[in-house]
Structure 1
Amino acid sequence: MNSARRSIVPIITNQTAIAWIGLYCLAVAMGYGRFLFTATLPDIMTQLTLSTTIAGWLASVNYSGYFIGALISMFVPQRLTYRALMVGIILSIVTTIALVAPNMPLSLWYIIRLLAGIASGIGMILGSSFIIQHFSGAQRSLLSTVHYAGIGTGISASAILTWWLLTLGYHFEVIWLVAGISSLPLIVLLYAIRPIKSDATQSNSTVKYPSIKQTYINFKRSLFEAMIGHTRAIALLAVSYLLAGFGYITSATFLPVMATGQLTDQNYAGLLIWLIVGIFAMLSNPLWGALAKRIGEIKTLMGLTILQAIGMFAPWLFDSALGLYANAVILGLTFVGMVSMTLNLIKSINPAYSNLLMGLATLAYAVGQFIGPLITVALAGSNDNFNAGLIVAGIGLLISLVLLLLFRRQPQSAN
């Protein structure tokens, strides 16, 4: 009876297939849950007559949700990783479809974007943890690259979907609905790679799990053990990552808005420029992975940080389409590589606590992303000039580079 029920959705064990499911997972949780907002933001602002300040707050609320999602993920026991991931993905899809509702009050927009951010944080951390554990050592590097390409794939999909439906005369409500519907098969695919319990495990009803209080005590102990002897290295890398999150988010939030406002002679310039970000994000990760094998992850990360800083200054240095397109190309080339390099570096500081350290880094990144849009809209003023925000972002990335140089000198760092 049980085996017949399980056979309705066959278990998938092929590692390559699981990597592609992981790509789909990140495309939904990150590409739609976070970055579809960027693609549709010019249309949302027009249809709802939103100011740049309100748009910035909606972005920051989503990023604060990402912080909460990362925090939640740090407390999820290993045995509950899959269940928590499924809850996060379902929440991501529900909050995507929820934006279809007409005439929603602004307060509800804030709540939905907050929940979407929480779902993205869970999907990113627990999704990566759950997917990558299926890969053997020999294939882990290559298949992990496929998995992380989901972020760029999701960005590209958000741009193409928005472009297609806008040209057909639809607006953001229909775009979010189609995105939500196209995400539904992921639930079935994740169910197909669910962990299978042995009969002995299923029949063992005497296992006692720790209480919430004990879980918190265990977490504090693990945090202390993870940090001891590595505090300076972890702090340097975490603050550097916070500045990286602050650095890239101005472009990742407002680039289509900038392009739409400045390149008025180009139809759908904002979506074209966002598609460029997605395409280069998809293609770049294997490139940086190969480079890291040759020169090391820390040197690669430092190079990416310099390159991204140059990208932030480009629209200010070249006050034309060239500056915006250069920013888009460099943003796509760098940000996924910076994420994967930083997470690999921080987990290698103390591998016994890799999940905890990755969670701490993600929290720092989320703080930077929350602050970024608020500073950007404050500096933009009534003329919506984002160049000042981009300059501050570039300066933040240069400070991040200094911290990476200091991190490199630490004996704990993996060079």
Structure 2
Amino acid sequence: MTTPALLQTTAAPLGPRQTAQLAASGLVLIAVAYGLARFAYGLFVPAFRAEFGLDPGVVGLIGSSSYVAYCLAIYPAMMLTPRLGSRTMVVITGTLATLGTALVGLAPHAAVLAVGVVLGGMSTGLASPPLAHAVSARVAWPHRDRVQTIINAGTGLGVAVSGPVALVTLAHWRSAWLIFAAVALLATLWAAQSVPHARLARPGAERQGTGERLRSLLPDPLLPDGALRLHATAVLMGAATAAVWVFGQDVLTGSGGQSQFTATVAWSGLGLCGLLGAAVGDIAHRVGMRVAWGGSAVLIALATAVIGLLPGQVGLTAAACGAFGAVYIAMSGLILISAAATYCEQPAAGVGVAFLMLALGQSIGGSLVGGLLEGLGAAPAFTAAAGVALISAVLAPRHLASSQVR
């Protein structure tokens, strides 16, 4: 076994102002990559179905392609972040998000729409590892977990923004996606100025051959203590939450008969409540990982079941969407800080592997839920997803945060 790489840089920790800029620009970049380029797809499913004549199976397939692209982009993010540095990788992330959202807005047919969705999915695969790497390398120790979870909450911000934009543009969904592209471009420029050029210092790296360099960038060990539990948890959580992310809007307006306005308001509430997930690190330190994770999984199950079983109840489904948003961001934040702790010497790789497992679960879940929706309807499909969430309740990740394994 080779000696594990030590996460070290010659630069001093960032000052308070620079740390705040990193947290803010990272949050906005995550908002663009996850909330706009990836998860906004579910918000516009009714418009896409009407424009391109898509059936639920094709909707699920296109949605799942985003998760597949995410999976394919994770490994390059893990491999290249220590070599190229965090700043270079976030610029690539933002560029892909800009191109993907622009293609969706300009799509003449479903094939181009799918390409745009795939590029958006790739941007999410590249986003988290370099930001986690930058935080671990350059943020002072007492503030790392808080900054990590603040950045992770950007998904909620992106979803919250996409809702009002959709309402303002009404049937002009193309304008909405072109606005998303402009926002993505601005976020990329900000990140290029605010994210430090953190790299991994490896003694003797310049003397390694190409094969040795590639192997050395993999986690070592690949499965440290607690990793299997962490990855199983991430897969289950991804599969359980795909129902709402991919089909939530379509179920509210289709099966539930809600207006596009009320469904979009509920979706925006999902995003706004997601910002509450930024506090998950502090909460988990107080109550423990097992309690925080188990309670969150039960709430995810309840919210998913309400949306699938009672899609016509405006008040209940709005509350369920809000709860889902807050708890999803909290659970993904717990996965992030647990991954950074489990792979404490290579946090970019650890976060990449964990989020790969999360996306893999979402890809599987999106396809299965799409098939169930087409064959059986919303209630059985969403109930099945809620059941998977309950199963994940007993598999809390072992490590709470990086401070526990210092």
Task: Return 5+ residue gaps in structure 2 as ranges.
Answer: 1-15
1:252 and 2:256 correspond: no
Deviation at 1:183? 2.3
From 126, 142, 165, give the equivalent of 2:130.
Answer: 126
Aligned partner of residue 404 in structure 1, secondary structure: coil
Query: Within 5 A, what are the aligned runs for 1:172-183?
Result: 172-183=173-184
- 1:304 matched to 2:305: no
State the match for 1:3 in structure 2: none
Q: Which residue identity is paired with 1:95?
A: G
Distance 1:138 1:95, change over 3 A: same
Match of 2:100 among 95, 113, 125: 95
Q: Does the C-alpha gap of structure 1 residues 316 and 65 become closer, same or farther in structure 2, counting only changes over 3 Å?
A: closer
Query: How many Å separate the matches in 2 of 1:355 and 1:125?
Result: 4
| Cα distance in 2 for residues equivalent to 1:207 and 1:291 | 40
Match of 2:80 in 1: 76
Structure 2 matches for 1:300-339, cutoff 5 A? 300-316=292-308, 318=310, 320-321=312-313, 322-339=315-332
Q: 2: distance between equivalents of 1:217 and 1:102?
A: 40
Deviations 1:89-129 (A, max 9, x none): 1111111111232523x333333322221111101322343
1:43 counterpart (17, 39, 47): 47
Q: Given residue 389 of structure 2, which amino acid in structure 1 is its aligned partner?
A: L
* Residues 1:234 and 1:14: Cα distance change in structure 2 (over 3 Å): closer
Shift of 1:226: 4.4
Q: Which residue of 1 aligns with 2:337?
A: 344
Determine what percentage of the aligned residue pairs are the same residue: 19
How many equivalent residue pairs? 381
- Identify the residue that residue 278 of structure 2 maps to in structure 1: 285
* 1:215 and 2:213 are equivalent in the alignment: yes
Letter paired with 1:103: P
Quote the Cα distance in structure 2 between the aligned partners of 1:102 and 1:110: 9
Q: Does 1:191 align with 2:189?
A: no
RMSD: 2.8
Counterpart contact for 2:42–2:246, Cα < 8 Å: yes
The whole-number CA distance in structure 1 between the counterparts of 2:197 and 2:331 is 34
- Residue identity matched to 2:108: N
Distance across 2 between alignment mates of 1:132 and 1:93:
27
* Cα displacement string for residues 261-280 of structure 1 (whole angstroms, at most 9, x for unaligned residues): 14435452221111111011
**Runs of 5+ unmatched residues, structure 1:** 1-11
Aligned residue type for 1:216: L
- Counterpart position of 1:227: 223
Match of 1:108 in 2: 112
Give 1 or 2 for the bigger CA radius of gyration. Answer: 1
Query: Are 1:137 and 2:135 counterparts?
Result: no
Report if aligned partners of 1:301, 1:338 keep a CA contact under 8 Å in 2. Answer: yes
Q: What's the counterpart of residue 56 of structure 2? A: 52
Secondary structure of 2:206's aligned partner: coil
- Quick one: distance in 2 between partners of 1:363 and 1:260? 31
Q: CA deviation at 1:334?
A: 0.7
Gap change, CA 1:191 and 1:358, over 3 Å in 2? closer
Q: CA separation in 2, counterparts of 1:267 and 1:353?
A: 44
Give the 3-state SS of the residue equivalent to 1:186 in structure 2: helix
Identify if the C-alpha distance between structure 1 residues 266 and 33 changes in structure 2 by more than 3 Å, giving closer, same or farther.
closer
CA distance in structure 1 between the partners assigned to 2:129 and 2:324 by the alignment? 22
Question: In the superposition, relative to structure 1, how do residues 159 and 96 fare at CA in structure 2: closer, same or farther (>3 Å)?
Answer: same
* Distance (whole Å) between structure 2 residues aligned to residue 177 and residue 44 of structure 1: 15
Q: CA deviation at 1:402?
A: 2.7
Q: Deviations over 1:32-62 (max 9, x none)?
A: 1111212212111112221111111110000
Q: 1:18 aligns with which of 19, 22, 44?
A: 22
- Quote the Cα distance in structure 2 between the aligned partners of 1:316 and 1:159: 20
Task: Please state how far the C-alpha of 1:219 moved relative to its aligned partner.
Answer: 4.1
Which residue of structure 2 aligns with residue 401 of structure 1?
Answer: 393
- State how far apart, in whole Å, the 2-side matches of 1:69 and 1:95 are: 14
Do 1:301 and 1:342's aligned partners in 2 also have CA atoms closer than 8 Å? no
Change in Cα spacing, 1:171 to 1:194, as seen in structure 2 (3 Å) is same
Distance 1:108 1:349, change over 3 A: same
Provide the residue aligned with 1:161 in structure 2: 165
Moved more, 78-87 or 369-378: 78-87
Change (3 A) 1:372 1:305: same
Shift in alpha-carbon separation, 1:382–1:293, aligned structure 2, 3 A: closer
Shift of 1:195: 4.2
Q: TM-score, normalised by structure 2?
A: 0.85
Q: CA deviation at 1:375?
A: 0.6
Deviation at 1:78, TM superposition (A): 1.4
Letter in 2 for 1:108: V
Residue aligned with 1:268, SS = helix
Distance in 1, matches of 2:252 and 2:130, equals 34
Q: Could you tell me the TM-score, scaled by structure 1's length?
A: 0.83
